[in-house]
Structure 1
Amino acid sequence: MNSQHAQHSPEILVFDSSDALASAAAQRLAAAIVSAQSDRGVARIALTGGSTGIAALRALRTVGDPIDWGRVEIFWGDDRFLPAGHEDRNDAQADEALLSHVPVDAARVFRMPCDEGEFAGDATAGARAYEETLRSLTPDGKIPELDVHLLGMGPDGHINSLFPGKATLSERERAVVAEFDSPKPPPQRITLTFPVVNAARHVWFLVAGADKAPAVAKAVGRASPADYPAAGAQGRDGTTWFLDKNAAELLR
């Protein structure tokens, strides 16, 4: 997958509050799911963790669009390498906010491996297994193209578990890698890489809070992805920033 597609200007949406941001993102995501199902039969969505991303999932429970949840495939951009059901795992938070409340097909919910069972203590094997799962979903063994990849962003500009200055940022062959030294705990993660993010039709950032404003300005201003990984993420058909006014305050 070539991540060097033509640069396009991102869409910037600014909301008065993080709640308004989450509600708007949920409405738009519902429409995107319905559209993808109309075009291709199935909608493929990568979820993100974090308070804003989880709030958007909670809001998705109450939108009006008639989503056929049996034809939605759910992925994660990253997850913490912890036991299943751990409260710090993104999938556990997504279950609580959304997935346990809607009739998803469990066979179409693709969770990242947990630190237990066959993968106990081996995040690298877990990452390899997740990539194999992804490649098994397409006839030619390529990574599925996501319809929407939701992304949060840290104050340091990280996305998924791709952190500034890390070798994982330059990964172009593997779709899924392990991170063993996350600057925020827990240290071990599994994450999608840039080739997967940038093959998505749409990349949406959900970012709230004044502490994120400097990184938002750097990422939107196309700083180096080595310094601000968010600057390297863009959808093939579009990139949208859903921001509250505090996160947007340094944009010119």
Structure 2
Amino acid sequence: MSELTGTMTVYPDPTALADGVAEWLTQLASTKDDVFTVCLSGGSTPRRLYERLAQSPYREQFPWKDTHWFFGDERFVPTDHKDSNFRMVSEALFSKVPIPDGHVHRIVTERPTAEDAAADYDKALRDFYGSSHLDPNRPMFDVMFLGLGPDGHTASLIPGEPILDERNKWVASVAHGRPEARISMTYPVIESSRALAFLVTGKEKTPMLRAVRAGDTSVPAGRLVTSGDIEWFVDRDAAAE
């Protein structure tokens, strides 16, 4: 699949989007017979989703005991830092729902360097998956949530960074392009998902949304190649409708 067209669902606003995606995710998780795996993204749009999942009826309906949670990327900051993705998701979701011990797999940033943190998470993913090689018939994740930056980045696959050419590591550090170092999953493990779910809101995203869905491979998000489903959950502003 060379173009990330997929299915686009347009919501009136970010609040309606959060409610719709919470319903979609809950239904998907509830129909899985075994372990359900979700990879999370940071940002204000996903936060609304996480907050909605922590409320009724999803708090009661979601199969928390069967679900494992991962992070697509993280800033190399302490867990109590205001920019920590783990802190944001903990405040919005993890602290409010009955998630079993060991089902949250965070990127451990209490390491000497971002490279060390990336290597640790790389090993943790391979250990959970049970292999160092990704099987196209056995995706790592059921759902991979992704954002889309105005510059075309997704996760912390930032334009011009060496991580864009990394095909062996599952997780790598990103030293430049942002004020702080990042740790991010690489293309192979992101693509190993039954569904890539993009959450996109705001008028400033419209040009990039159109470009990526039209097959622009000059930007990081446009270089994703997957045999899984592609879901675009966008608000009316981003869709320009």
- TM-score under structure 2 length normalisation: 0.91
Where does structure 1 differ by over 6 angstroms across 4 or more consecutive aligned residues? none
Q: Distance in 2 between matches of 1:165 and 1:50?
A: 22
Aligned residue for 2:74, secondary structure, equals strand
State, as a whole percentage, how many aligned pairs show the same letter: 32
8 Å CA contact retained: 2:3, 2:222: no
Q: Counterpart in 1 of 2:213? A: 220
Q: Distance in 2 between matches of 1:146 and 1:33?
A: 12
Q: Counterpart in 1 of 2:15? A: 19
8 Å CA contact retained: 1:21, 1:243: yes
8 Å CA contact retained: 1:61, 1:98: yes
CA RMSD, 1 decimal: 1.8
1:18-57 to 2 correspondences below 5 Å: 18-36=14-32, 38=33, 41-57=34-50
Q: Distance in 2 between matches of 1:58 and 1:232?
A: 30
Unaligned stretches of 5+ residues in structure 2: none
2:232 paired with 1:241 = yes
Displacement of 1:22 in angstroms is 1.3
2:181 paired with 1:188 = yes
8 Å CA contact retained: 2:146, 2:198: yes
Unaligned stretches of 5+ residues in structure 1: none
2:94 paired with 1:103 = no
Name the amino acid aligned to 1:139: G
Between 141-150 and 98-107, report the one with greater CA deviation: 141-150
Structure having greater relative contact order (Cα 8 Å, sep ≥ 6): 2
Displacement of 1:106 in angstroms is 2.8
In the TM superposition, what whole-angstrom CA distance separates every residue of 1:202-241 from its partner, at most 9, and x where no partner exists? 00000100011111011111101xx321212355330011
Q: Distance in 2 between matches of 1:234 and 1:99?
A: 31
1:158-169 to 2 correspondences below 5 Å: 158-169=153-164
Name the amino acid aligned to 1:243: V
1:54-65 to 2 correspondences below 5 Å: 54-62=47-55, 64=57
- TM-score under structure 1 length normalisation: 0.87
- Aligned partner (choices 114, 127, 132) of residue 118 of structure 2: 127
The size of the alignment, in residue pairs, is 235
1:75-90 to 2 correspondences below 5 Å: 75-90=70-85
Displacement of 1:8 in angstroms is 6.9
Q: Counterpart in 2 of 1:230? A: 221
Aligned residue for 2:29, secondary structure, equals helix
Q: Distance in 1 between matches of 2:108 and 2:4?
A: 34
Displacement of 1:63 in angstroms is 5.2
Q: Distance in 2 between matches of 1:229 and 1:152?
A: 12
In the TM superposition, what whole-angstrom CA distance separates every residue of 1:116-158 from its partner, at most 9, and x where no partner exists? 3xx12x1111101101011111333445610000011111111
Q: Distance in 2 between matches of 1:242 and 1:125?
A: 34
